[in-house]
Chain A
Amino acid sequence: MEELIRDEDGVESLQKKVQDDVSKETEHDFKYFEFKGNASEYFRIWIVNIALSILTLGIYSAWAKVRSNRYMYANTYLNGSNFEYNADPVRILIGRIIVVSLYALFVLFSQYLFMFEIAGGIAILALIAMPWLVRQAVGFKLRNTSYRNVPFRYEGKVSSFYGFFILHFFLNLITLMLIFPYSYVKFKMLILDNAHYGDGDFIFFGKTGEAYAIYIKIFVWSSLLIFAVFMFFSFIGAGLGIIFGDMLSAFDPKISTKIIPILVTIGVLLIYVPFIFWNKGFNDGYFSNFVRKNTALNNSPLKGEIKPFKLGIISATNALAIFFSLGLLYPWAKIRYLKYKLEHTAFACENYDQFESHGYVTGSTVGEEMIDFFDIDIGL
């Protein structure tokens, strides 16, 4: 373990220095991010996006993605200036076509033609390309984000991604995932230490020990919550069974066997599904805070003040709202979640004018679209 942590001595000492600098200056002028988007405005953009995508048989979806992202970025303000999303819809469309056709080929060969050799070949190729694709996706997101007309940049090497994924795949295999928090910290370093805003450099100095502490905290809280909820409902369930069980079976002995599965289904839907989404938000809250407070741009630190429990509640109620509105409250839910996260994030910078631009660059979108299509969270 000790040796693994010390493998990048240069970076380690630099991180230490920045962290010391950051913690020495306690008098930081933190400014909170602001989100100015509103649900009714975004609803219109969202629904028109879907309608136009339907009418164009999906082709517009690339433009829809850009429009939707542009709206989110443009409404995100820091120190009075907003962000910009600059991706080219045509490139997104090409990326989308490539990913969807590869996936369609995979499904065709595996599920309809039973040619498992070819389907397996496609899957293996995708697996081999995965580290490269993840790197592409990270780069794409950063390159296409700008603030005050200065774009973010990414300089991570493809070889470091292959190195990371191969090493950590085996480490997790051997340790039965017990080393995962360490992998998480290393991945964040790979992303953030190679990320730049203009000529400014991001640096991540999160400690593995803290990541372990967060995982343990999440595990304990989630288990306690599950336990409490199940106790509560089994008491209620038992009570109801005693009161109504005889009454129902007096009418029709078969009715209770018909009703119980329905009740179980509803119960699962109303408890289990919100719990999963609560847990998602709860996790996101803890890890977002962890990453924010351990990241700095040059010597300017970020800060996260998200309440994980509250973000969990937002996530769970969002899921219920989307479900019961048959999807129509999706724009409201998305904005609500994003707004809470952003407005509990702060950045302290002495001089917002100091960054020099390296100019805009374009590149492949296949990675970004793969991440999007399979809904893989790379956590930027």
Chain B
Amino acid sequence: MLIDALLYDGKSSKEHKVTLDFTFGRRVKISSHDIDVALEDIVIESRLGNTPRVIEFPNGVRCKSEENDKIDQVLLDFNLNKSKTHKIESSLGLTLGSVFLTIGFVWFMLTGGANYTANILANILPQTTLEEVSTVTLNQLEKTLLKKSKLSERQESIIQAHFDKLTNGDSRYKLHFRSAPEMGPNAFALPSGDIVLTDQLVALSRDNNFRDILGVLAHEKGHVVEKHSLRMAIKTGISSVIIGYVTGDISVIASTIPTILVNSSYSRDFEREADAHAVKEMKKMGVSTIYMANLFEALAKKHEELKDDSMVGSLMASHPLTSERIEYFKKHAENN
């Protein structure tokens, strides 16, 4: 078969009009340039839309031909490998399939999929890794933000008793009393089961028996049980990769804003899960959740968060709105 092409000898930028002759003896001839080589010695690059097809000859010679369909016919006739990629690209069904696969994948990963993958990975990773990570984190925090607790012995013993009852003596869980003036009223759990409670939060307690603090500890235990910190880390990774890939060029703004929105809604889901865990544990122990509601009211007053009861506030909040949570705990207190 004869195919019109342009030849570049690889030595200079001169362009030559030539005719490639594919013969039945599986040879390719370019008579004007004394080229006569075996079909196996040339490389026909994969087809890419309708761009000129590149054919590489030995000694750096390259030909380009616009006759893509003829070249495809040659590949077929001589039983040479044809690139599958162009086949996919030129099939309407497979391109549409790619569109649906991509949209489906992105949607799945941004909704349930990241969660699902994170759960699998969270269960595969050994407990010792989590403990090592937590120890390092805790040590770092001890150096910077956390100071020795100033709680009285009575306060500590009541809360410790709640904690022991809550964890049922499981040695995995450890409670650390610390003062953190810069952090303020707070409590957090590390994946290893170390739970840190700040004096500043205890100071907000409105119950002499610290039943509200019990609720907080149950909430934190919920984070550990559900492996939230690990799931969060994995989700952040997955969603930022997807968003970066899909948006391509508009990298700076377009990929950071959705990542923040997605991630904060993730952590809101986690907080809800932990709240549900707290309600379950408190009911089991026969403690009313009204104490939690009261504590949140005290917290809200401190933060004056109720002001932020707007759409934007709700979208950006990493915790469910405090007012929402107060309602939640009140509702469960009534149900008791």
Contacts and interface: CB of A to CB of B under 8 A. Distances in A.
B159 to A, nearest CB: 27
Contacts of B10: 149-150, 357, 359
A81 B10 CA distance: 15
B99 A257 contact: no
Interface in B36-77: 48-52, 54, 60-62, 64
A70 B50 CA distance: 12
Given A50-B98, A319-B250, A71 B51 contact: yes
Contacts of A276: 253
A355 B48 contact: no
B310 interface: yes
B247 A45 contact: no
Q: Which 3 A-B pairs have the closest CB atoms?
A: A149-B8, A74-B51, A51-B98
A144 B89 CA distance: 25
A262 B311 contact: yes
B125 interface: no
Interface stretch (A20-28, A110-118, A303-311): A110-118
A220 to B, nearest CB: 24
13 contacts: A45-B49, A47-B98, A48-B88, A48-B89, A52-B88, A71-B51, A112-B133, A149-B62, A261-B310, A261-B311, A322-B254, A352-B13, A354-B12
Interface string A169-208: 0000000000000000000000000000010000000000
Given A261-B312, A355-B12, 7 more contacts: A50-B246, A53-B245, A147-B13, A148-B15, A258-B310, A330-B247, A353-B12
B98 A48 contact: yes
A81 to B, nearest CB: 6
B111 interface: no
B103 to A, nearest CB: 8
* Residue of B12, B99, B105 most packed against chain A (CB within 10 A): B12
Contacts of B251: 375
A162 interface: no
Given A53-B245, A54-B102, A41 B250 contact: no
B140 interface: yes
B238 to A, nearest CB: 11
Contacts of A261: 310-313
B246 A115 contact: no
Contacts of A54: 101-102, 105
Contacts of A257: 310
Interface residues of B, number: 52
A219 interface: no
A164 interface: no
A334 B247 CA distance: 12
A149 B89 contact: no
A262 B311 CA distance: 7
Contacts of A222: none
Contacts, number: 144
Given A71-B48, A258-B311, A47 B136 contact: no
A147 B14 CA distance: 10
Given A42-B49, A261-B311, A353-B14, A50 B89 contact: no
B133 A327 contact: no
A103 to B, nearest CB: 11
A150 B52 contact: no
Interface string A351-366: 0111111011000000
B89 A45 contact: yes
B89 A150 contact: no
B249 to A, nearest CB: 7
A323 interface: yes
A353 B13 contact: yes
A42 B99 CA distance: 13
Contacts of A51: 97-98, 101-102
B8 A148 contact: yes
Interface in A331-380: 333-334, 352-357, 359-360, 375
Given A44-B89, A48-B94, A113-B137, A198 B13 contact: yes
Contacts of B254: 319, 322-323
Contacts of A149: 8-10, 13, 60-62
B95 interface: yes
Given A51-B98, A67-B85, A357-B11, A334 B312 contact: no
B49 A71 contact: yes
A273 interface: yes
A327 B14 contact: no
Contact of B102 (A50, A82, A84, A112): A50
A317 interface: no
Interface string B248-277: 111111100000000000000000000000
A113 B11 contact: no
Interface in B194-235: 233
Nearest to A200: B13
B95 A47 contact: yes
A27 B228 CA distance: 71
B90 interface: yes
B15 A81 contact: yes
A42 B50 CA distance: 10
B13 A357 contact: yes
Interface in A126-156: 147-150
Contacts of A356: 11-13
Given A114-B140, A150-B12, A354-B13, A48 B85 contact: yes
Interface in A25-84: 37, 41-45, 47-48, 50-55, 67, 70-71, 74-75, 81-82, 84
B12 A114 contact: no
A47 B310 CA distance: 39
